[in-house]
Structure 1
C-alpha cells in the first residue's frame, strides 16, 4: 500500500483497481455562540466547511464515500444544525446523505465557542481515471471571487463558487484542471498548479482580482482552459470568470 501527498490531499493506493483520496478542513470561532468572532448560523458553518473538502475531492475526480464531521459542540442543537448544513452541500450529488455522513460531538462539557473539523474520503477507479492536468498554452482563469467572513453571507451566491458550479466546470471538455482556492489565495494555488504540472506561467498586466487575498471556504477556483473557449465560458457562466494569465 503506497501513501503519498498531492497538494492538500492524501492519496492511498489501496489495491490494483482503486485509490483512496482523503481531504479535510476545519473552522473555529465562526457560529452563533457567545465567544464566536464571526456570527453566522450553524448551518452556514457546516455548509461551507464541508464544501471546501468536498470540492477538493471532486476536483481530482474522486467519488466521495464518507464524510466525517468532528464537532466541538453539543449535538442538540448546534451539532444538528451544522449537520443540516453538511447535508445541503451533498444535495447536488447522487447519493444518500444518511449513508455517507458520520461523526461525533462534544457532550461532556458546555461549549461557548463553535469549532468543527471535516474529513472526506473518496475513491478513484483507476481504469476510468486520469489525473486532471493543466496544459501548456492554455489560459489561467479564476471562477468566482475571493471572499471571507461576512462577505460570504452577504454575497447570497452571486459571485462565489458552489458544488453545482464545480460540477458544471468538470463537465466542460475545454477545462483541463480545476483547483479550488482557499485561505492561501489565488497566487499560491496558481503556483501549486504550475509546480505539480511542471509548467511555468505568466500573469496578465492588469488583473481585476486580488490574487493574494484569502478565498475563505473555497469561494473561487483556478482553471486551465483552452483559449478559444474562454469567452464562451465567461459570457455564459452564472458567476464571474476572470482571465489572470497563461500556462507556458
Structure 2
C-alpha cells in the first residue's frame, strides 16, 4: 500500500493495482440549516466529480462508488444519488460501476452531509507514467470557486469531460485537480511528486491561495510549445502559473 497525492493505492497482484479516492461535504444542500443552498443533485454531482477526477487522472477505471449520506433516502438521498449518476456519465460505463452506500433513517436531520469513496482498478502497465519535466509550464485551467459562487456560470469550471479530453493530448504531462487547499498548495504537490521545483509567473491574475471548492479548476503541466494548441482547444479560462525546473 502507498499514497499518491490524495489517493490510496494497493498492489493486489503482480499485474493489477487498486486505487481509492474519496471526498466529503457538509452544510451544503436544501435543508433548514444548510449554509449553502443548492439542489441535492448538484451536491451529489460535484462531490462525486472531485473524487472521480483524482482517480481518472491516473488512468484508473472506477468499479464501485460508495456513498455515505447523512440524510434520509426519501427524498434527499435519492436526489444526491441522481447527481452521482450524472457525474459518471462522461465515462460511458454506467452499467459497469456499482453504486452502493448508506443513509440516515433513524434520526431526522436538518443539515445535509455526505461522503463519497470511489474504488478503481488499473493494470500496472497502464499507470500514467508521463511526468512533468524541467522547463514545462504549469497552467491553471478554470477559476477557483466555492460555496454560493458555484451558482455562477459553469462554463468557467473544470470538468471530468475536459479532463478526459486533455489526458489524450501529447503535450499534457500531468493533471492535478485543485480542491480546498488552493492552487499554491497543489502547485507544490505537483512539483514535488515529479521531483522538481517551481518558479511562479511574474503576473498571475487570480488568487492562488483561494479554495477551488469541488475542483472547479485544475493544474496541468505542459510543454511550452503546447500552450497555443491548448488555448484553441478549451473554452474556459487559462492562466500560466509557474515554470518547473
TM-score by length of 2: 0.97
SS at structure 2 position matched to 1:92: helix
Aligned to 1:170: 167
SS at structure 2 position matched to 1:164: helix
State whether residues 63 and 96 of structure 2, in contact with CA within 8 Å, keep that contact through their aligned partners in structure 1.
no
Residue 242 of structure 1, CA deviation: 1.3
Deviations 1:195-224 (A, max 9, x none): 111101111111011111000000011011
Q: Give the number of equivalent residue pairs.
A: 245
State whether residues 58 and 128 of structure 2, in contact with CA within 8 Å, keep that contact through their aligned partners in structure 1.
no
Segments of 5+ residues of structure 2 without an aligned counterpart are: none
Residue 150 of structure 1, CA deviation: 1.3
Aligned to 1:245: 242
What root-mean-square deviation, in Å, do the aligned CA atoms of Structure 1 and Structure 2 show? 1.1
Of residues 203, 207, 211, the one that matches 2:208 is 211
Of residues 173, 183, 187, the one that matches 2:184 is 187
Aligned to 1:60: 58
Distance 2:88 2:22 in 1: 15
Aligned to 1:30: 28
State whether residues 61 and 131 of structure 1, in contact with CA within 8 Å, keep that contact through their aligned partners in structure 2.
no
TM-score by length of 1: 0.96
For 1:1-248, list aligned pairs within 5 A. 3-97=1-95, 99-155=97-153, 157-248=154-245
SS at structure 2 position matched to 1:90: helix
Distance 2:31 2:95 in 1: 26
Deviations 1:61-80 (A, max 9, x none): 11111110000000000000
State whether residues 60 and 132 of structure 1, in contact with CA within 8 Å, keep that contact through their aligned partners in structure 2.
no
Distance 1:216 1:166 in 2: 17
Residue 97 of structure 1, CA deviation: 4.9
Distance 1:130 1:95 in 2: 20
- Structure 1 segments, 4+ long, off by >6 Å, are none
- Which segment is superposed worse, 124-133 or 29-38? 124-133
Deviations 1:103-158 (A, max 9, x none): 11111111110000000011111123343422211111011110001111222x21
SS at structure 2 position matched to 1:222: strand
Distance 1:171 1:98 in 2: 22
Distance 1:214 1:240 in 2: 17
